[in-house]
């Protein structure tokens, strides 16, 4: 089992304290998804705006009792995000900063692109988007149809297409968009884009859960992209595009698993705190829930350690994400059972947790996709961790 060292326990303690301050706003965020932008004075949310940026570009990371945290490793991220999700997952997803985009820029960007992107993010609270999903191509990202074309060799590129379910699409000032220059996996490219570009529009998409995250739909109509905004332009086609997003997902899948753990823990604690007397059978059920949460937490830590040791070692990350998505749906529904038939009306916070839990399944790849990745990894003799 991977135990947290003193440094990670300090991060955990600080995050727990900070996100306990955000939690009282959770239902307000659920009612009005614009609320998170008014909560930046809460350190837990505000600090995310300047973290998850590589040390060479961020001289001023989070400092706790003499220890510095950039939230760049998977282990630091899972420690932090378990607490953030316990506080409110929707608010955590609505934070400024570059949790996904930053990983991609780190993997694919050249020095100038990194300086430009991280410089923008650090200058002021900046929301970023990571536009990959298309409405007809969800999990089959390799089949995306958004195009990146140009008429002459040295001229600007043109971006055409539509993206959907993109986090922070509406509030985002800049981000990355995935598009193809030709058919096949080697034709996938990513570009840096500012939301005020001509031809870019974004609007919110209504969702049942994680409303505060305010997923959005992006339309791209002949958006001009300067050649220096194409990520990985200094890399070979095999090392940019899909390679970049696979690396991003390997790092972020344990983070989604840790979000499941935090959200499930919130539901478990809610039952413990709001049911004064439990029958023996109920007590046993609650204990079993706690053990399942702990099991996924341990798997998530192993997955994070494996990815930190080798970013291509994503099998455990897929397993953790898969287990986490199942855990959180199961625990939040069972938690409602403790309060009888009127539970969803009488316990709005728990009802919200059950709605939010469903969103986890769709983040960083659905259950079937994780299974396929694990299967392929095992088939190729890769069994990390």
Ligand X SMILES: Cc1cc2nc3c(=O)[nH]c(=O)nc-3n(C[C@H](O)[C@H](O)[C@H](O)COP(=O)(O)OP(=O)(O)OC[C@H]3O[C@@H](n4cnc5c(N)ncnc54)[C@H](O)[C@@H]3O)c2cc1C
Residues near ligand X (CB under 6 A) are 130-133, 138-140, 163, 165-167, 210, 213, 215, 359, 362-363, 366-369
- If the CB atoms of residues 14 and 133 are measured against ligand X, the closer one turns out to be 133
d(CA 102, CA 121): 9
- If the CB atoms of residues 69 and 175 are measured against ligand X, the closer one turns out to be 175
CB of 51 to ligand X, least distance (A): 18
- If the CB atoms of residues 39 and 215 are measured against ligand X, the closer one turns out to be 215
CB of 365 to ligand X, least distance (A): 7
CB of 75 to ligand X, least distance (A): 22
- If the CB atoms of residues 128 and 300 are measured against ligand X, the closer one turns out to be 128
- Please answer whether residues 311 and 104 qualify as being in contact, where contact means their C-beta atoms are separated by less than 8 angstroms: no
- Please answer whether residues 216 and 173 qualify as being in contact, where contact means their C-beta atoms are separated by less than 8 angstroms: no
- If the CB atoms of residues 127 and 130 are measured against ligand X, the closer one turns out to be 130
Got the DSSP string for 297-327?
HHHHHHHHHHHHH-TT--HHHHHHHHHHHHH
Among all residues, whose Cβ is closest to ligand X? 138
CB of 38 to ligand X, least distance (A): 21
- Tell me the Ramachandran region of residue 97: left when phi exceeds 0, alpha when psi lies from -120 to 50, beta otherwise: left
CB of 205 to ligand X, least distance (A): 10
- Hey, how many other C-beta atoms are within 10 angstroms of the C-beta on 86? 24
DSSP one-letter code for 42: S
CB of 281 to ligand X, least distance (A): 33
Coil, strand or helix: which one is 205? coil
- If the CB atoms of residues 11 and 159 are measured against ligand X, the closer one turns out to be 159
Quick one: 226 exposed, middle or buried, by C-beta within 10 A (0-12, 13-18, 19+)?
exposed
Residue in 297, 188, 165 with CA at minimum distance from that of residue 240 = 188
DSSP one-letter code for 56: G
- If the CB atoms of residues 97 and 167 are measured against ligand X, the closer one turns out to be 167
Tell me which residue has tokens 């009612």.
31
Q: What are phi and psi of 339, to 5 degrees?
A: -115, 10
Strand partners, 130: 176
CB of 188 to ligand X, least distance (A): 13
């Amino acid at each position: 089992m991977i135990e947290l060292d003193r440094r990670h326990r300090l991060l955990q303690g600080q995050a727990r304290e900070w996100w306990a301050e955000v939690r009282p706003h959770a239902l307000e965020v659920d009612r009005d998804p614009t609320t998170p932008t008014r909560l930046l004075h809460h350190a837990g949310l505000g600090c995310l705006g300047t973290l998850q940026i590589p040390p060479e570009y961020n001289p001023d990371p989070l400092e706790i009792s003499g220890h510095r945290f950039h939230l760049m490793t998977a282990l630091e991220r899972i420690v932090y995000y378990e607490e953030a999700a316990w506080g409110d997952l929707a608010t955590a997803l609505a934070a400024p900063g570059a949790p996904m985009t930053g990983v991609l820029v780190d993997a694919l960007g050249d020095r100038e692109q990194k300086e430009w992107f991280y410089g923008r993010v650090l200058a002021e609270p900046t929301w970023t988007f990571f536009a990959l999903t298309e409405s007809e191509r969800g999990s089959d990202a390799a089949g995306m149809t958004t195009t990146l074309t140009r008429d002459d060799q040295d001229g600007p590129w043109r971006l055409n297409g539509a993206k959907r379910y993109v986090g922070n699409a509406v509030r985002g000032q800049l981000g990355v968009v995935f598009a193809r220059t030709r058919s096949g996996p080697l034709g996938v490219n990513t570009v840096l884009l500012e939301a005020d570009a001509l031809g870019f529009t974004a609007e919110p998409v209504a969702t049942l859960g994680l409303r505060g995250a305010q997923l959005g739909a992006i339309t791209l109509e002949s958006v001009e992209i300067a050649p220096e905004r194409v990520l990985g332009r200094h890399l070979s086609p095999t090392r940019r595009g899909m390679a970049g997003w696979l690396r991003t997902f390997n790092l972020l899948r344990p983070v989604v698993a840790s979000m499941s753990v935090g959200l499930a823990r919130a539901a478990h604690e809610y039952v413990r705190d709001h049911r004064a007397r439990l029958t023996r059978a109920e007590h046993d059920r609650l204990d079993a829930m706690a053990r399942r949460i702990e099991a996924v937490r341990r798997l998530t830590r192993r997955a994070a350690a494996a990815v930190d040791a080798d970013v291509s070692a994503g099998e455990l990350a897929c397993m953790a994400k898969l287990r986490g998505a199942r855990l959180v749906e199961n625990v939040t529904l069972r938690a409602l059972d403790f309060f009888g038939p009127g539970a969803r009306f009488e316990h709005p916070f728990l009802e919200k947790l059950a709605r939010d839990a469903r969103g986890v399944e769709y983040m960083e790849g659905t259950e079937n996709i994780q299974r396929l990745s694990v299967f392929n990894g095992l088939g190729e003799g890769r069994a990390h961790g």
